[in-house]
């Protein structure tokens, strides 16, 4: 009576996404998987559910190998999952969204549905009844008729859990269910998870919110770059150094001593609050369609200074940067050098000097060569400026000229990050928005990256740095803003780096919300 | 030898399809939609060039095709701006526009075929007589395909187009006005279709109702090898021409029209079964 | 939408006013006018035939009315475009017979349109004059047979005639190019039967859809089969021209015998020098006209629609058949009277020779003698 | 009111048909138009089920109708079977064909699937033309028996719209049921649907099968109403125009395709005809698509949503 993954290995092209990972969930147990971005948590879910093929290993349910079965058969056998990015139809009602989780349990088919036979109707009524029950358990009954698109992301996640529960699963896999949930919603979710476990359902949880994880889990597995780093009871695991490293950034432990003085240096050069910020954001709220992902955020960016946005995955950092750059729908005001820019389309904001480097190097053109990428970014420069820019970049990123003719997608992660920064600089930005520049990079690159960002700041550019890797961010930052659940949870100077306990608390959303 | 002749004739015939398939793919990569009026621009250009002889007429014809294409470009922009996502509406709208153009051509340029023959003697190629015009058309077709390659890979506009296709978000970040680039692609597609029209006028000729069959065959050719590569689409068009020719040359006449359709259908079904579809199309 | 509705309303009002204006002089005349319905393909693939048909009837009607009409009765036309679609043809017939108040219908341009529409006309007791050769249109076993009259020789008759003339020179190996529709396919099937009867062989039969443009592969296949003579069964001028051009290009040297439907100016224009030497069996030859035909050409040219091909002839045959029948009727004209009168018509002011008589059993009227052989010389059809 | 109102579309159809009856009976042309609208409405509903409900962008609905129409035409002319026998065959045959066909093409992207189904339509068209005496070849089949029942004008109106209302009632019930919700989730998000335990391949097969059956019914009505059937009658061009009808009316509701069929048939009847017809028709189509890209039935909701969005913007500033 267990769900087991045995030595699961998954490859995407040449990349080893999971390397012989084994994990086990018992009925009535809550097991969690934690790990940084790109550690393979979602891939593990996909492998268990049948959305990703195994290179080797096995998935067993009650001892029976199920990894040859198509995904929907596995669901029918009693596995169920939620998605990290909720997959919703914004037009459907909450009631319908939850109800759809129960459809596979229908015994009557098409004819019953078309003819509305008594049996079909009673089955439908049964599903409706269960839906109502789940709504009540989640304390969402008042929202039954609301459209999914109008709800905040936290509520949507909760609904997604309800949808999974509807299928009466024996094992339920929750992919970051607590990201973006308010405390009250988190409590409702915790209660729901505990109830499920007490009813004998096995729960496998992937979650960044460590407080949440430690509250509900019986067992914890730490994944790091596709491998199991360690496992055990939550209380024990969180004390192990490898966990802290994986969670706060790979060199947090070793760097903390060295980083503080450097950060303090920078802080001394540029005071935490500039008298006249270069960019001011007031009450910025970002939304995708109808889903709001961060709320009323104020942000000032000084010239030649670094503001670090910290927070767990899904806290709303990227959305805020997207909102500032014009790629994500938003409300609130954004002023650059006294000029309102919030009404402009993204490419106009780029011309004004707002330059965004999205996560995973989202500003480069993978199919085009390095030279073409740079030419595109430099196309507005006059001949003189172009020569100067080329010389500057040559000096800053010597690797890039060596690889100028290879397509960007063939570069290593570190080289791609350099290209992404080079392209951003080519646009002559005044404000640079960096989203998780360290994501997926080997720690060896961190020092280079740090030097580059320092050089950029030295040129008088204001930088907003969104990072999960707190240690890396804090080495550069003049000001640190910690975002949890789409809201500012702590606003402080770089000195917080010295106080790892407090940083961890704020980071995990345990710090009291910012006093307005 | 016989086989070779049918292949060569098919390739010559396929150049026209290729020249229509190529802009279909161009529009698709930059704006994710399909302009079903592309065949209508071909007919429109042929009609204008037929009515206004000489090189001025040809230029005028190509310009008219570009103007018509820009109408669909603007429509596409309007429709996607107001209602993000649904590319099907744009495709249907372009079909509506194609109906308008066909009717316009019939009303103002008449029902008769648009053909202008040179009367030049055929040339010998590997011992087979081939119309001089076919050679010229094939040359123009290859030159245009090469120009599309050069445009995409050696000019800034081309890079902006590829960038918009490769990573629209990144393009916006780099300050590329993606919508304007998309409109430019529509107009460029119109120009290519216009040239195809003028070419066909001097070759096989066409009539007001040729637009839809041309579009469907070319779209089939374009989609076979991946709609997101303009040059692959061109090759797809040429392959369709060859299949048509072989089918006309060897199959019983009852089957000769059916086989090219069955060929495209089979390629699409094969791709879908082997999961290469994802790489082939984004829609 | 409101604007559209208003525009439609305005257009309707204008149409009513115009209609009323047109009625004024007619009502002032001695006798009530009668209406003829035109159910023709004015758009879609068959528009190249439907449009000249409409233009010819319009020109002839204007002339007739100017001359005082038929026994003092003027003729009015009600036009419906079936868009080369049998569904629309059926609907159009319903509109013409129910709302149009017509006493006869000319149409449809192609056989399937007539086949779809004829039962409706029969139910409404309105005679139909079909300007197409599709054999099934005049099939005796159909309920609507008493109501349909053909205004040219049937496809079977024309086809047989063409084959006989083409083989008169002693050719034994025949190649065929046909367009993929009822017209082309009918020839293909008949040729196979005739080959058995007469002992010649069909060495290659190739086809293309009406939308085809480049026919070099088809011409090559025919060339490789080395026929003595090539039959060309196409009605679409673009397709016929594309074929003869391809034939010249690929070096297909055998003489080409084309079916009369290609006897059109647009075929000559589109084919250019490639048409030189092509033999054709014509219903009427605009290039070498009889005095009557020259007069018809003058009427058409004055109306701004100069003659193009055979569509005008077929439509004129239909028109004059109706006129001849109407002339025999005293009192009010209705469908039944007109049909009965048509079945007694032996004299039509037709431009196609070979009209025998419409009788109760013969609704075909024209025989193979209608056809005359011509050859293309210097861009004109000349008598062979 | 959590349930979608299952019988509302059918009731609306009945009400409108009754209201229109006095205008139509006694006028054979409008009666004819009304029956044809019903045929198109059935075909557009078929698009609604395949694309609107389950996300299969099939451009072969008229070809399914042709399958049904030819089935009943051959049965009633060649074998002199009663049209009601043909009715069963005309629905069942396309439905049985639809399932494996859907499994074959379901892996394609929207666009490839649209092209493939359009090509299928062309192939069927050629097969029918080359079918010789069996299918009537290029000439088609004529002299089909009329729609069974009293030979009265009103009956045709009642029978054809009765069929539409019946299908609308069945579909209304399907759309409102959990099973229909399953199909809708296959359209919205196949991955999500899989995670809900739905076999999306099977679901698509069922949806296309139902759609083909409805199209077959439309084909039956066409065959016995027009009484002539040729290859052009229900060819690929009709597939495209019924797709347009469904989209113009609103493809994801039961009523939308019916509204679209009525609207576009009226449009083509009322707009000036002949050579310039395409300009008027195409132009009006563009205007409608610009005004209501989610379909005419979405117009009221759309106006509301627009107001909401404007209000949101003002708040934001």
CB contact under 8 A, B272 and D278: no
Q: Cα C288 to the chain's mean position, in Å?
A: 20
pLDDT at A464: 86
pLDDT band, very low/low/confident/very high, at A443 (cuts 50, 70, 90): low
Residues of C in contact with D238 (CB under 8 A): 87
Closest CA to A1 of A33, A28, A41: A28
Listed by start position, the domains of chain B span 2-110+126-280
- Encode pLDDT of D207-235 as tens digits: 999 999 999 999 999 999 888 898 888 98
Residues of C in contact with D33 (CB under 8 A): 91
| pLDDT over 60 (residue C6) | no
Give residues 379 to 408 of A whose Cβ lies within 8 Å of B: 379-380
Q: Which chains touch C (3 or more CB pairs under 8 A)?
A: B, D
Tell the burial category of C236 from Cβ atoms under 10 Å away from its Cβ (0-12, 13-18, 19+): buried
Name the least confident of B105-114, B232-241, D3-12: D3-12
| pLDDT over 80 (residue B242) | yes
How far is residue C37's CA from residue C79's CA, in Å, rounded to a whole number? 6
CB contact under 8 A, A331 and D194: no
Percent of chain D with pLDDT over 70: 92
Closest Cβ opposite residue A366 in set B156, B167, B177: B167
How far is residue D92's CA from residue D216's CA, in Å, rounded to a whole number? 8
Other C-beta atoms within 10 Å of A329: how many?
17
Closest Cβ opposite residue C249 in set B6, B131, B256: B131
How far is residue C183's CA from residue C206's CA, in Å, rounded to a whole number? 14
CATH number for the domain running over C156-282: 3.40.50.2300
pLDDT at D46: 96
pLDDT at A260: 41
pLDDT at D2: 45
- Encode pLDDT of C299-341 as tens digits: 999 998 888 888 888 899 899 999 999 988 888 888 888 889 9
Percent of chain A with pLDDT over 90: 3
Percent of chain C with pLDDT over 70: 92
How many C-D residue pairs are in contact by the CB < 8 A criterion? 93
Mean pLDDT across A467-476: 76
Indicate the CATH number of D8-264 among 3.30.70, 1.10.3470, 3.30.420, 1.10.10: 1.10.3470
Give residues 166 to 185 of B whose Cβ lies within 8 Å of A: 166-167, 169-178
Mean pLDDT across D194-218: 93
pLDDT band, very low/low/confident/very high, at C104 (cuts 50, 70, 90): very high
The mean pLDDT value of chain A amounts to: 78
Mean pLDDT across D115-124: 93
Residues of D in contact with B216 (CB under 8 A): 115, 118-119, 122
Please tell me the distance in Å from A366's CA to the nearest CA on chain B.
7
* Local structure of residue D79 (DSSP, 8 states): S
pLDDT at A284: 83
Name the least confident of A463-477, B55-69, C151-165: A463-477
Q: Which CATH class is domain B2-110+126-280?
A: mainly alpha
Identical fold for domains C31-153+292-367 and C156-282, yes or no, is: yes
Specify the fold of C31-153+292-367.
Rossmann fold (3.40.50)
**A51 lies within 8 A of chain B by CB:** no
- Encode pLDDT of C220-237 as tens digits: 999 999 999 999 999 888
Residues of B in contact with D283 (CB under 8 A): 96, 100
- Encode pLDDT of A489-512 as tens digits: 777 776 666 666 666 666 555 544
Instruction: Give one DSSP letter per residue of B6-48, joined into a string.
Output: HHHHHHHHHHHHHHHHHHHHHHHHHHS---TTHHHHHHHHHHH
| pLDDT over 90 (residue D206) | yes
Residues of A in contact with D179 (CB under 8 A): 103, 106, 108-110, 112-113, 120
Closest CA to B22 of B241, B221, B278, B239: B221
**Quick check: do C and A touch, 3+ CB pairs under 8 A?**
no
Higher pLDDT, A415 or D5: A415
Q: Are strands A487-493 and A479-484 parallel, antiparallel or unpaired?
A: antiparallel
pLDDT band, very low/low/confident/very high, at A247 (cuts 50, 70, 90): low
Helix axes D236-249, D61-78, angle to 10 degrees: 130
pLDDT at D67: 95
How far is residue B48's CA from residue B114's CA, in Å, rounded to a whole number? 9
Please tell me the distance in Å from B211's CA to the nearest CA on chain D.
13
Please tell me the distance in Å from B69's CA to the nearest CA on chain A.
25
| Domains of chain A by start residue, with CATH | 3-248 (3.40.50.300), 252-353+429-507 (3.40.50.300), 361-428 (no CATH)
Please tell me the distance in Å from D103's CA to the nearest CA on chain C.
31
How far is residue A271's CA from residue A267's CA, in Å, rounded to a whole number? 6
pLDDT at B277: 36
pLDDT at D242: 93
Q: HSE, CB side, 13 Å, CA atoms: give it for residue C281.
A: 22
pLDDT at C46: 86
pLDDT band, very low/low/confident/very high, at A255 (cuts 50, 70, 90): very low
pLDDT at D301: 58
- Structure tokens that stand for C367 in this block: 């025989």
The answer to whether C116 and C140 have CB atoms below 8 angstroms apart is no
Closest CA to B48 of B67, B73, B29: B67
pLDDT at C175: 94
Closest Cβ opposite residue D198 in set A103, A116, A120: A103
Residues of D in contact with A76 (CB under 8 A): 197
The answer to whether D65 and D214 have CB atoms below 8 angstroms apart is no
- Encode pLDDT of A316-374 as tens digits: 788 888 888 888 878 888 888 878 888 788 888 888 888 888 877 778 888 788 888 88
| pLDDT over 80 (residue A113) | yes
The torsion angles phi and psi of C366, rounded to 5 degrees, stand at -90, 145
CB contact under 8 A, D275 and C79: no
CA distances from D18 to B264, C73, D249, D261, D264 (A): 47, 43, 21, 18, 20
Listed by start position, the domains of chain D span 8-264, 271-317
Secondary structure E strands in A270-406: 279-288, 291-301, 306-310, 329-336, 339-340, 354-357
Closest CA to A411 of A397, A400, A425: A400
The torsion angles phi and psi of C37, rounded to 5 degrees, stand at -90, 140
Give residues 184 to 223 of B whose Cβ lies within 8 Å of D: 216, 219-220, 223
Cα–Cα–Cα angle for D5, A106, D58, rounded to 5 degrees: 65
Sign of CA dihedral A364, A367, A373, A375: negative
| pLDDT over 70 (residue C153) | yes
Please tell me the distance in Å from B253's CA to the nearest CA on chain C.
5
- Encode pLDDT of A81-111 as tens digits: 888 777 777 778 899 888 888 888 787 788 8
Tell the burial category of D249 from Cβ atoms under 10 Å away from its Cβ (0-12, 13-18, 19+): buried
How many B-C residue pairs are in contact by the CB < 8 A criterion? 116
CB contact under 8 A, D191 and A115: no
| pLDDT over 50 (residue C76) | yes
- Encode pLDDT of C32-58 as tens digits: 889 999 999 998 888 888 999 999 999
pLDDT at A424: 84
The torsion angles phi and psi of C177, rounded to 5 degrees, stand at -115, 130
| pLDDT over 90 (residue C84) | no
Q: Cα C384 to the chain's mean position, in Å?
A: 23
How far is residue D49's CA from residue D175's CA, in Å, rounded to a whole number? 9
pLDDT band, very low/low/confident/very high, at C348 (cuts 50, 70, 90): confident
Listed by start position, the domains of chain C span 31-153+292-367, 156-282
Percent of chain A with pLDDT over 70: 83
| pLDDT over 60 (residue D195) | yes
| pLDDT over 50 (residue A514) | no
- C22-58 residues labelled b (16+ CB within 10 A) or e (exposed): eeeebeeeeeebbbbbbbbbbbbbbbbbbbbbbbbbb
Residues of A in contact with B167 (CB under 8 A): 362-366
Sign of CA dihedral D150, D152, D154, D157: positive
pLDDT at B244: 92
- Look up the ipTM and state it: 0.83
Higher pLDDT, A513 or A312: A312
The answer to whether A188 and A138 have CB atoms below 8 angstroms apart is yes
The mean pLDDT value of chain B amounts to: 86
Name the least confident of A483-487, B9-13, B199-203, C169-173: A483-487
How far is residue C200's CA from residue A396's CA, in Å, rounded to a whole number? 86
Instruction: Give one DSSP letter per residue of A198-229, joined into a string.
Output: HTT-EEEEE-S-HHHHHHH-SEEEEEETTEEE
Closest residue in C to D234 (Cα) is C87
pLDDT band, very low/low/confident/very high, at C98 (cuts 50, 70, 90): confident
């Amino acid at each position: 009576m267990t769900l087991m993954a045995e030595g699961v290995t998954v490859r995407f092209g040449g990349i080893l996404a999971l390397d012989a990972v084994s994990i086990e969930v018992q009925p009535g147990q809550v097991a969690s998987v934690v790990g940084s971005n790109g550690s393979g948590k979602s891939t593990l879910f996909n492998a268990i559910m049948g959305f990703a093929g195994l290179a080797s290993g096995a998935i067993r349910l009650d001892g029976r190998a199920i990894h040859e079965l198509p995904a929907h058969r596995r669901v029918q056998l009693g596995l169920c999952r939620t998605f990290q990015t909720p997959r919703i139809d914004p037009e459907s009602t909450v009631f319908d969204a939850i109800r759809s989780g129960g459809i596979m349990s229908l015994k009557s088919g098409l004819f019953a549905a078309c003819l509305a036979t008594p049996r079909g109707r009673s089955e439908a009524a049964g599903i409706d009844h269960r839906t109502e029950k789940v709504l009540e358990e989640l304390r969402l009954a008042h929202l039954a008729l609301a459209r999914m698109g109008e709800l905040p992301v936290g509520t949507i996640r909760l609904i997604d859990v309800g949808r999974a529960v509807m299928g009466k699963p024996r094992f339920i896999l929750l992919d970051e269910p607590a990201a973006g949930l308010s405390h009250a919603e988190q409590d409702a979710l915790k209660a729901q998870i505990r109830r499920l476990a007490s009813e004998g359902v096995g729960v496998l949880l992937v979650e960044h919110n460590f407080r949440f994880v430690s509250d509900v889990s019986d067992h914890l597995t730490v994944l790091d770059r596709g491998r199991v780093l360690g496992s055990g009871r939550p209380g024990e695991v969180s004390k192990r150094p490898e966990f802290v490293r994986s969670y706060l950034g790979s060199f947090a432990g070793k760097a903390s001593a060295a980083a503080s003085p450097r950060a303090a240096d920078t802080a001394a050069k540029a005071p935490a609050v500039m008298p006249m910020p270069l960019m001011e954001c007031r009450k910025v709220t970002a939304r995708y369609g109808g889903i709001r992902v961060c709320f009323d955020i104020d942000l000032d960016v000084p010239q030649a200074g670094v503001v670090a946005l910290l927070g767990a995955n899904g806290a709303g950092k990227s959305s805020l940067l997207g909102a500032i750059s014009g790629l994500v729908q938003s409300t609130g005001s954004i002023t650059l050098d006294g000029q309102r820019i919030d009404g402009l389309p993204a490419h106009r904001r780029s011309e004004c000097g707002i330059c965004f480097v999205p996560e995973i190097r989202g500003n480069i053109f993978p199919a085009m060569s390095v030279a073409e990428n740079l030419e595109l970014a430099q196309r507005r420069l006059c001949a003189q400026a172009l020569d100067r820019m080329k010389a500057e970049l040559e000096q800053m990123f010597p690797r890039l000229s060596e690889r100028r003719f290879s397509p960007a997608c063939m570069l290593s992660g570190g080289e791609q990050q350099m290209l992404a920064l080079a392209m951003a600089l080519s646009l002559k930005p005044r404000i640079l928005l960096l989203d998780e520049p360290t994501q997926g990079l080997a720690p060896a690159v961190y020092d280079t990256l740090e030097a580059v960002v320092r050089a950029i700041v030295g040129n008088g550019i204001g930088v907003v740095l969104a990072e999960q890797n707190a240690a890396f961010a804090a080495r550069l930052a003049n000001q640190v803003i910690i975002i949890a659940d789409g809201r500012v949870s702590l606003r402080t100077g770089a000195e917080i780096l010295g106080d790892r306990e407090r940083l961890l608390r704020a980071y995990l959303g345990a710090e009291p919300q910012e006093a307005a | 030898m016989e086989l070779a002749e049918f292949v060569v004739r098919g390739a010559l015939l396929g150049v026209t399809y290729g020249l229509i398939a190529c802009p279909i793919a161009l529009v698709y990569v930059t704006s994710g939609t399909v302009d079903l009026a592309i065949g209508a621009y071909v007919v429109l250009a042929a009609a204008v060039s037929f009515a206004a002889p000489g090189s001025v007429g040809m230029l005028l014809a190509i310009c008219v095709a570009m103007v018509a294409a820009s109408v669909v470009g603007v429509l596409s922009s309007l429709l996607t701006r107001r209602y993000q996502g649904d590319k099907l509406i744009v495709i249907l709208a372009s079909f509506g526009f194609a109906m308008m153009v066909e009717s316009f051509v019939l009303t103002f340029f008449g029902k008769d075929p648009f053909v202008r023959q040179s009367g030049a003697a055929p040339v010998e190629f590997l011992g087979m007589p081939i119309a001089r015009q076919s050679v010229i058309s094939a040359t123009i077709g290859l030159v245009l395909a090469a120009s599309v390659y050069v445009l995409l890979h050696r000019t800034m506009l081309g890079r902006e187009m590829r960038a918009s296709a490769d990573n629209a978000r990144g393009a916006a970040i780099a300050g590329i006005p993606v919508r304007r680039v998309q409109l430019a692609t529509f107009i460029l597609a119109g120009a290519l279709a216009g040239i195809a029209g003028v070419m066909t006028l001097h070759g096989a000729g066409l009539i007001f109702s040729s637009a839809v069959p041309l579009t469907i065959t070319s779209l089939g050719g374009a989609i076979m090898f991946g709609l997101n590569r303009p040059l692959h689409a061109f090759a797809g068009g040429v392959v369709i021409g060859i299949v048509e020719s072989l089918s006309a040359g060897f199959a019983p006449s009852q089957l000769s029209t059916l086989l090219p359709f069955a060929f495209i259908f089979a390629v699409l079904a094969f791709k879908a079964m082997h999961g290469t579809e994802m790489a082939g199309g984004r829609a | 939408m409101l604007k559209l509705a208003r525009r439609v309303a305005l257009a309707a009002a204008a149409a009513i006013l115009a209609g009323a204006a047109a009625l004024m002089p007619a009502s002032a005349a001695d006798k009530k006018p009668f209406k003829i319905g035109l159910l023709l393909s004015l758009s879609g693939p068959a528009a190249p035939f439907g449009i000249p048909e409409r233009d010819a009837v319009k020109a002839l009607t204007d002339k007739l009315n100017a001359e005082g009409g038929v026994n003092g009765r003027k003729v009015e036309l009600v036009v419906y475009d079936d868009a080369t679609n049998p569904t629309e043809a059926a609907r159009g017939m319903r509109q013409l017979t129910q709302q149009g108040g017509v006493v006869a219908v000319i149409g449809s341009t192609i056989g399937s349109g007539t086949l779809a529409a004829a039962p409706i006309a029969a139910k409404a007791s309105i005679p139909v004059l079909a300007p197409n050769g599709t054999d099934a249109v005049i099939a005796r076993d159909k309920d609507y047979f008493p109501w349909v009259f053909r205004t040219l020789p049937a496809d079977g008759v024309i086809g047989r005639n063409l084959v006989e003339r083409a083989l008169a020179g002693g050719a034994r190996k025949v190649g065929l190019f046909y367009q993929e529709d009822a017209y082309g396919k009918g020839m293909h099937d008949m040729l196979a039967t005739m080959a058995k009867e007469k002992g010649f062989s069909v060495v290659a039969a190739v086809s293309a859809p009406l939308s085809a443009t480049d026919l070099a592969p088809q011409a090559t296949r025919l060339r490789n089969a080395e026929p003595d003579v090539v039959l060309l069964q196409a009605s679409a001028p673009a397709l016929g021209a594309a074929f003869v051009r391809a034939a010249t290009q690929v070096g297909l040297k055998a003489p080409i015998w084309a079916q009369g439907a290609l006897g059109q100016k647009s075929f000559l224009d589109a084919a250019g020098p490639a048409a030189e030497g092509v033999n054709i069996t014509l219903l009427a030859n605009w290039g070498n006209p009889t005095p009557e035909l020259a007069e018809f050409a003058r009427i058409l040219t004055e109306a701004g629609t100069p003659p193009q091909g055979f569509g005008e002839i077929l439509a004129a045959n239909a028109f004059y058949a109706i006129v001849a029948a109407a002339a025999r009727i005293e009192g009010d004209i209705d469908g039944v009277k007109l049909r009965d009168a048509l079945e007694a018509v032996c004299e039509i002011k037709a431009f196609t020779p070979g009209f025998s008589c419409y009788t109760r059993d013969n609704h075909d009227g024209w025989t193979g003698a209608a056809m005359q052989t011509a050859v293309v010389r210097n861009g004109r059809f000349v008598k062979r | 009111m959590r349930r979608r109102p299952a019988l509302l579309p059918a009731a609306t159809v009945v009400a409108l048909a009754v209201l229109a009856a006095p205008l139509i009976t006694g006028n054979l042309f409008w009666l004819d138009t009304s029956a044809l609208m019903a045929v198109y409405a059935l075909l557009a509903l078929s698009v609604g089920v395949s694309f609107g409900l389950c996300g299969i962008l099939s451009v072969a609905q008229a070809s399914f109708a042709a399958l049904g129409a030819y089935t009943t035409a051959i049965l009633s002319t060649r074998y002199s079977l009663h049209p009601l026998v043909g009715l069963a065959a005309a629905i069942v045959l396309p439905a049985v064909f639809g399932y494996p066909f859907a499994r074959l093409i379901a892996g394609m992207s929207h666009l490839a699937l649209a092209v493939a189904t359009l090509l299928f339509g062309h192939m069927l068209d050629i097969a029918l033309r080359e079918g010789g005496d069996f299918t009537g070849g290029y000439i088609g089949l004529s002299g089909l028996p009329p729609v069974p029942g009293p030979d009265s004008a009103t009956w045709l109106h009642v029978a054809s719209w009765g069929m539409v209302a019946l299908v609308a009632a069945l579909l209304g019930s399907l759309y409102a049921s959990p099973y229909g919700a399953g199909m809708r989730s296959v359209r919205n998000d196949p991955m999500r649907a899989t995670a809900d335990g739905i076999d999306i391949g099977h679901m698509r097969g069922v949806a296309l099968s139902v759609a083909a059956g409805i199209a077959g019914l439309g084909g039956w009505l066409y065959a016995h109403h027009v009484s002539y059937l040729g290859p052009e009658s229900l060819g690929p061009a009709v597939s495209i125009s019924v797709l347009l009808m469904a989209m113009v009316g609103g493809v994801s509701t039961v009523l939308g395709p019916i509204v679209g069929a009525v609207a576009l048939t009226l449009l083509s009847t009322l707009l000036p005809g002949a050579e310039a017809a395409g300009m008027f028709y195409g132009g009006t189509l563009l205007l409608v698509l610009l005004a209501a890209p989610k379909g005419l039935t979405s117009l009221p909701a759309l106006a509301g949503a627009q107001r909401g969005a404007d209000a949101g913007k003002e708040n934001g500033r």
